[in-house]
Copies of this chain bind each other. A is one copy, B any other.
Amino acid sequence: MTMDVTFLGTGSAYPSPHRGASALVLRTEGECWLFDCGEGTQTQLMKSQLRAGRITKVFISHLHGDHLFGLPGLLCTVSLNSNPDPQQRLGRVDIYGPRGLRHFLRVTLGLTGSQLLFPYAGKRALSPNTDVHELEPTSDQSPEEGQLSPEVTADGPLHPQEQPGRTISLDVSSECYLLFEDKRFVVQAFRLFHRIPSFGFCVQEHDRPGRLKTELLKELGLKPGPLYGRLKAGEAVTLESGRLVLPAEVLEDATPGRKVCILGDCSSVLGEGPLRLCHRADILVHEATLANEHREKAVEHGHSTPEMAAAVAQACRARRLVLHHFSQRYKPCGAQKEGGKDDVSELKRQAEDALQDSGVEVVLAEDFLTLNVPIRCDQSLPVR
């Protein structure tokens, strides 16, 4: 079961010919989840190996334009290129993001007559259902002027085919937002501090039970059948002889689920809960807008330096820290003048310096870089 992350845009503030605006895709079994969608993301997708039509979920970390302005166009294009046969295409796109996102989409799609996406009555079968789930921010996530007044996001009349949507509130005890849980994943969000409310996302794959030790089962006199399934599901089973067979006896070690954490723009993470949530993340994606020597300016704008990103990775004991969201002053390695200032590889060195002996690997993201997230064999879990 492969799982990988592809960066579509690694620049901050705006897209440039050197770096797209923020967007990355987490892919698993052909399904694509898009994290942020700056202007030009649909074009970056076309240039990549990924297919926009495979996007089933979109996560928007915060409402700054460099993370959002590509979303209306992307949805229109997915809709336009979707198979007219409803059997042949993904029927639904779920969108998660801060309060205000629903209003943004309603107005941008509504005023532009984007009727394929939220079609008029009678055309529903032609359109994917789009449901927008909004995260309710708290007042400590940004300076006061960065908070949206309730009037600005007040629910006006829904678009005729708009789904009513859902508001997700902070779970105070875990300091997280539960977005959804299904057979394979649980996805949560958490609060970051930025100029406007910003969020991080944690995608946690469930652990997978180990394989049955079939030789041993045969020795015990158990033949393939329903009892196998019950043991695999973690249930104890009593043989005809009266012998109790515990799952731990007959199952190989479980495979630990993978964990990918993707943080939006921030100068800090709010609370300890998110650090526990991201503990031992296989990949922690964190912004590093400016180099350490510009820390004051970075913080003033709600951003981080490599050193600050490294501190978060260390607090989580992440396995790999991936830096992105670079100021457009840092050209990609290929486009960089030899020996020039504002060398992006200096950002990597600064994070590595801060992580000496911690065992955290540092990676610099670039547009179209794909990182595989391998299943971990090094650290198998005890059977439950």
Contacts and interface: CB of A to CB of B under 8 A. Distances in A.
Interface in A105-162: 107-108, 110-115, 120, 145-146, 148, 151-153, 157
Contact of A68 (B17, B42, B112): B112
A16 B42 CA distance: 8
Interface of A: 13-17, 21, 39-40, 42-43, 46-47, 63-66, 68-70, 72-73, 76-77, 80, 100, 103-104, 107-108, 110-115, 120, 145-146, 148, 151-153, 157, 195-196
A21 to B, nearest CB: 8
B100 A14 contact: no
Given A14-B80, A111-B153, A151-B157, A39 B70 contact: yes
Contacts of A110: 152
Contacts of A63: 111-113
Closest 9 pairs between A and B when the two form their complex, measured CB to CB: A107-B107, A39-B73, A14-B77, A69-B73, A65-B112, A113-B196, A100-B111, A104-B111, A40-B40
A160 B82 CA distance: 41
A252 B359 CA distance: 83
14 contacts: A14-B76, A15-B42, A16-B43, A39-B42, A39-B73, A40-B43, A65-B73, A69-B108, A103-B111, A104-B111, A108-B108, A113-B146, A113-B195, A120-B145
A110 B154 CA distance: 13
Chain B CB count within 10 A is highest, among A39, A63, A64, for A39
A153 to B, nearest CB: 7
A145 to B, nearest CB: 6
Nearest to A18: B46
A211 B21 CA distance: 52
A272 to B, nearest CB: 28
A107 B111 CA distance: 11
Given A39-B43, A39-B70, A108-B108, 17 more contacts: A14-B42, A16-B43, A17-B43, A17-B46, A17-B47, A39-B39, A39-B40, A40-B40, A65-B76, A65-B112, A69-B108, A103-B107, A104-B112, A107-B108, A111-B152, A115-B145, A151-B157
A152 B156 CA distance: 9
